[in-house]
Amino acid sequence: MALLEIRNVTKRFGNFTAVDNISIAIKAGEFFTLLGPSGCGKTTLLRMIAGFDAPDGGQILLDGKDLAGLPPEQRPFHTVFQSYALFPHMTVASNIGFPLKMAGKTPAEIKTRVAETLAEVELTPFADRYPHELSGGQKQRVAFARGLINQPRLLLLDEPLGALDEKLRENMQRELIKLQAEAGVTFIYVTHAQNEALALSHRIAVMNQGRIEQIDEPSRIYNFPVNRFVADFIGKINLLSARVLEVSAAHLKLTVTGLGEVTVPVSGHVKAGDEGVFAVRPEQVRIVAQSPEIPIESQLLGKIKDFLYIGDVTTYIIALSNNTLIEALLPNSVPGHAKLFDIGDPVVVSWQEQSAQFLPD
């Protein structure tokens, strides 16, 4: 049995459907992420789990028991917000121990548990400081510690790292993974940041316009998106309009705008005449300098139109002979070279058949 089960949950605000007949089963000890663009319904769903909002239809069950009518303070959950929500007049230790105080624990119990939790989040030297004396990352660790101190069944996290700079976010991601593994608490995490979701999660639910497009492990979400929306939302990808010409046991033959006839592996239930997109990730695209020694059959000729240097990698935009644009992502691994190609350089473009796929719109 799932720890938390969401069954056909719907939430409306007037004529707007924020969450549309969603069903999810979340296992105990799982780091589960709700991912999607702003306005897709992920925070509304989290609020219904927490008990701040009531669904207009469907059920939310914990250990098989319906949570309908149970107020937030009686649910064995805790919510961590992007704003930290720390009490400014309380020290770090008092902020962390507040849930235990509200639960009626003795001062001795609170002191012992707070000391243990401070050590877990590496904040022992900051126990007597106030929130205004802490950095953003330290405040966020206090919020996490307060959320975990009473050992909730679920920790609900609503964009908790959104206010941090990029480097600090990466550090906090590693700390979150460690905290979740050590605490053994089920995390339900809301974010619009794709890289964050891929790095943190055991499973991800990709949401769009109140519905779930795909639920899967991060590697499958990235490498095997089920449709155009998921492919386009998660990371960078080349997408070109395509139509299925032939279907065989192992391959699809497509006609692709700007590329002509292309073969890709069979995926899903596809038939001749189906329309969608040809998809290939930039890191799967190979580009090499044109030379007489390179056979160009089944490969494409183009020129570097633009590039974006990002330190460890460079994204190249290649214009094919018919002006179709393809992105390629290359590591900057050649000693002494900041980049491999310049604008205007002629290149040969290729990819392995199994790296590309056909996706329905």
Assessment of whether the complete model's pTM goes beyond 0.85: yes
* DSSP conformation letters of 22-80: EEEEE-TT-EEEEE-STTSSHHHHHHHHHTSS--SEEEEEETTEE-TT--GGGSSEEEE
Q: Looking at the structure, do residues 318 and 195 belong to the same domain, yes or no?
A: no
Q: What is the pLDDT confidence band of residue 339, given thresholds at 50, 70 and 90?
A: low
Q: Looking at the structure, do residues 319 and 172 belong to the same domain, yes or no?
A: no
Q: What is the pLDDT, as a whole number, of residue 337? A: 59
Q: Please count the other Cβ atoms lying within 10 Å of the Cβ belonging to residue 234.
A: 22
Work out whether strand 77-81 and strand 65-66 pair parallel, antiparallel, or are unpaired.
Answer: unpaired
Q: Which of 162, 31, 191, 175 is closest to 84 using CA atoms?
A: 162
Q: What is the pLDDT, as a whole number, of residue 249? A: 87
Does 315 map to a domain? yes
Q: Which of 81, 15, 14, 75 is closest to 48 using CA atoms?
A: 75
Q: Looking at the structure, do residues 155 and 63 belong to the same domain, yes or no?
A: yes
Distances (CA, A) of 76 to 2, 41, 84, 124, 355: 16, 23, 20, 26, 45
Mean pLDDT across 339-346: 88
Q: What is the sign, positive or negative, of the torsion defined by CA atoms of 337, 342, 348, 350?
A: positive
Does 231 map to a domain? no
Q: Looking at the structure, do residues 161 and 295 belong to the same domain, yes or no?
A: no
Query: Is the pLDDT at 252 greater than 70, yes or no?
Result: yes
Q: Looking at the structure, do residues 247 and 266 belong to the same domain, yes or no?
A: yes
Q: Looking at the structure, do residues 260 and 115 belong to the same domain, yes or no?
A: no
Q: Looking at the structure, do residues 117 and 147 belong to the same domain, yes or no?
A: yes
Q: What is the pLDDT of residues 48-105, one digit of tens each?
A: 999 999 999 999 999 999 999 899 988 999 888 877 788 899 999 999 999 888 888 8
- The mean of the pLDDT values for the chain is 90
Q: What is the pLDDT of residues 151-186, one digit of tens each?
A: 889 999 998 887 777 777 888 888 888 888 888 899
Among 198, 223, 248, the domain-final residue is: 223
Does 89 map to a domain? yes
Does 359 map to a domain? no
CATH code for the domain in which residue 8 is found: 3.40.50.300
Q: What is the pLDDT of residues 131-158, one digit of tens each?
A: 999 888 888 888 888 888 888 899 999 9
Q: What is the pLDDT confidence band of residue 250, given thresholds at 50, 70 and 90?
A: confident
Chain centroid to Cα 202, Å, comes to 10
d(CA 148, CA 186): 11
Q: What angle do CA 226, 231, 236 make, to 5 degrees?
A: 160
Q: What is the pLDDT, as a whole number, of residue 141? A: 85
Query: Is the pLDDT at 31 greater than 90, yes or no?
Result: yes
Q: What is the pLDDT confidence band of residue 40, given thresholds at 50, 70 and 90?
A: very high
Which tokens belong to 51?
Answer: 């008990």
Q: What is the pLDDT, as a whole number, of residue 338? A: 59
Exposure class string for 281-294: b at 16+ Cβ within 10 A, else e: bbbbbebeebeeee
Q: What is the pLDDT of residues 254-298, one digit of tens each?
A: 999 999 999 999 987 888 999 999 999 999 999 998 876 665 555
Q: Looking at the structure, do residues 200 and 96 belong to the same domain, yes or no?
A: yes
d(CA 358, CA 264): 7
CB under 8 A, 24+ apart: contacts of 247-250: 247/271, 247/272
Does 361 map to a domain? no
Residue 95's domain comprises 2-223
Contact between 280 and 235 under an 8 Å Cβ cutoff? The reply is no
Does 357 map to a domain? no
Q: Looking at the structure, do residues 213 and 306 belong to the same domain, yes or no?
A: no
Q: Looking at the structure, do residues 152 and 86 belong to the same domain, yes or no?
A: yes
Q: Looking at the structure, do residues 142 and 271 belong to the same domain, yes or no?
A: no
Contact between 7 and 26 under an 8 Å Cβ cutoff? The reply is no
Query: Is the pLDDT at 26 greater than 80, yes or no?
Result: yes
Angle 136-148/166-183 helices, nearest 10 degrees? 20
Does 358 map to a domain? no
d(CA 118, CA 187): 20
Q: Looking at the structure, do residues 155 and 39 belong to the same domain, yes or no?
A: yes
d(CA 342, CA 41): 43
Mean pLDDT across 26-48: 95
Q: What is the pLDDT confidence band of residue 336, given thresholds at 50, 70 and 90?
A: low
Contact between 27 and 62 under an 8 Å Cβ cutoff? The reply is no
Q: What is the pLDDT of residues 199-208, one digit of tens each?
A: 999 999 999 9
Q: Which of 207, 223, 326, 308 is closest to 265 using CA atoms?
A: 223
Q: What is the pLDDT, as a whole number, of residue 356? A: 94
Q: 275 φ, ψ to 5°?
A: -115, 150
Q: Report the number of distinct structural domains present in the chain.
A: 3
d(CA 104, CA 66): 26
Does 199 map to a domain? yes
Q: What is the pLDDT, as a whole number, of residue 179? A: 84
Q: Which of 259, 209, 262 is closest to 233 using CA atoms?
A: 209
pLDDT winner (highest mean) among 117-131, 210-224, 347-361:
210-224
